């Protein structure tokens, strides 16, 4: 267990530039404190003690704001950054070198016994406020965007955003665990595509209207007539989408 705690300490030094020393991490990092106390309660849970592991987990929750069921299996080098409001259910499995931000829920669905919480493979990053629910598997090197709700299995090397969570990118490139904010703006991309399509359709409609007016007047069509599309660059839309 000491080797595991040492790896938890090392990952904080590696991933958090604000970490300045041993005593600062021990005294001021609730994620580290919660993991150390969980590893103790998890060992007691595996020994079959009926109540004390749950009491210890509740004391940990009161101290750190992080609730981890003593039955959860957590690998080495896991970092819970800030951590307030993090909830990790009983049958959750977290692989090595995963990174969880504040407000993350690894929860269950339904009332069935057995495996009902997520399994995170190695090097998974879950953004602030994201919810991963049910007995699903999240593949290695996957990023889940802040505020997303994931209810289906996710393959390795994916980027997931939205409610419900959708895979918006997949590759074999190893991710930067600290770049959890560098996620594509899928809603803006969809709106841009719709705006371009509407603009094209309006141009065609205006062109056809001009042709009908010309034919109604009995004039000859000796050149292609085209109308100007309505400008869709409304100020509110531009402010929503940004300049890019």
* CATH number reported for the structural domain that contains residue 146 in this entry: 2.160.10.10
Q: Judging by DSSP bridges, how do beta strands 87-88 and 67-68 pair with one another?
A: parallel
Q: Which residues pair with 74 in a beta bridge?
A: 94
Report yes or no on 181 lying in a domain: no
CB atoms within 10 A of CB 14: 14
State how many domains the chain has: 2
pLDDT at res. 58: 92
Is 53 found in the same domain as 101?
A: yes
Report yes or no on 180 lying in a domain: no
Report yes or no on 177 lying in a domain: no
Please measure the distance between the N-terminal and C-terminal CA atoms of the chain and give it in whole angstroms. Answer: 49
Is 237 found in the same domain as 165?
A: no
Q: Which of 87, 74, 83, 104 is nearest to 5 (CA)?
A: 74
Omega of the bond prior to 55 within 30 degrees of 0, cis? no
Enter the pTM of the model: 0.68
Mean local confidence (pLDDT), 139-168: 85
pLDDT at res. 137: 93
Query: Cα–Cα distance between 68 and 54 in angstroms, integer?
Result: 9
pLDDT at 183 exceeding the cut of 90: no
Q: Which residues pair with 166 in a beta bridge?
A: 161
pLDDT confidence tier of residue 230, bands split at 50, 70 and 90: very low
Here the tokens at position 196 are 């371009």
pLDDT at 132 exceeding the cut of 60: yes
Non-local CB neighbours of 126 within 8 Å, separated by 6+ positions: 98, 99, 100, 101, 104, 120, 132, 144
Strands ordered across the beta sheet of 73-74: 73-74, 93-94, 119-120, 137-138
Query: Cα–Cα distance between 170 and 106 in angstroms, integer?
Result: 22
pLDDT confidence tier of residue 165, bands split at 50, 70 and 90: confident
Mean local confidence (pLDDT), 100-121: 87
pLDDT at res. 186: 61
Q: Which of 76, 82, 90 is nearest to 41 (CA)?
A: 90
pLDDT confidence tier of residue 213, bands split at 50, 70 and 90: confident
Is 222 found in the same domain as 104?
A: no
**Domain boundaries, position 229:** 186-241
Question: Among the listed ranges 71-75, 154-158, 198-202, 221-225, which one has the minimum average pLDDT value?
Answer: 221-225
């Amino acid at each position: 267990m000491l080797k595991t705690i040492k790896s938890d300490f090392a990952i904080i030094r590696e991933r958090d530039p604000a970490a300045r020393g041993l005593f600062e991490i021990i005294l001021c990092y609730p994620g580290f404190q919660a993991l150390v106390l969980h590893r103790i309660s998890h060992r007691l849970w595996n020994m079959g003690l009926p109540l004390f592991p749950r009491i210890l987990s509740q004391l940990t929750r009161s101290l750190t704001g992080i609730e981890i069921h003593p039955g959860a299996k957590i690998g080495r080098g896991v970092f819970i950054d800030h951590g307030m409001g993090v909830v990790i259910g009983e049958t959750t499995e977290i692989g090595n070198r995963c990174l969880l931000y504040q407000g993350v829920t690894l929860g269950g669905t339904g009332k069935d016994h057995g495996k009902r919480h997520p399994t995170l493979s190695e090097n998974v990053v879950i953004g602030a406020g994201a919810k991963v629910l049910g007995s699903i598997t999240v593949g290695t090197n996957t990023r889940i965007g802040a505020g997303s709700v994931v209810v289906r299995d996710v393959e390795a090397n994916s980027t997931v955003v939205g409610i419900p969570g959708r895979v918006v990118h997949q590759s074999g490139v190893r991710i930067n665990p600290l770049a959890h904010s560098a996620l594509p703006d899928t809603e803006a991309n969809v709106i841009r595509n719709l705006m371009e399509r509407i603009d094209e359709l309006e141009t065609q409609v205006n062109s056809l209207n001009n042709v009908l007016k010309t034919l109604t007047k009995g004039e000859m069509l000796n050149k292609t007539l085209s109308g100007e599309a309505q400008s869709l660059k409304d100020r509110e839309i531009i402010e929503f989408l940004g300049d890019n």
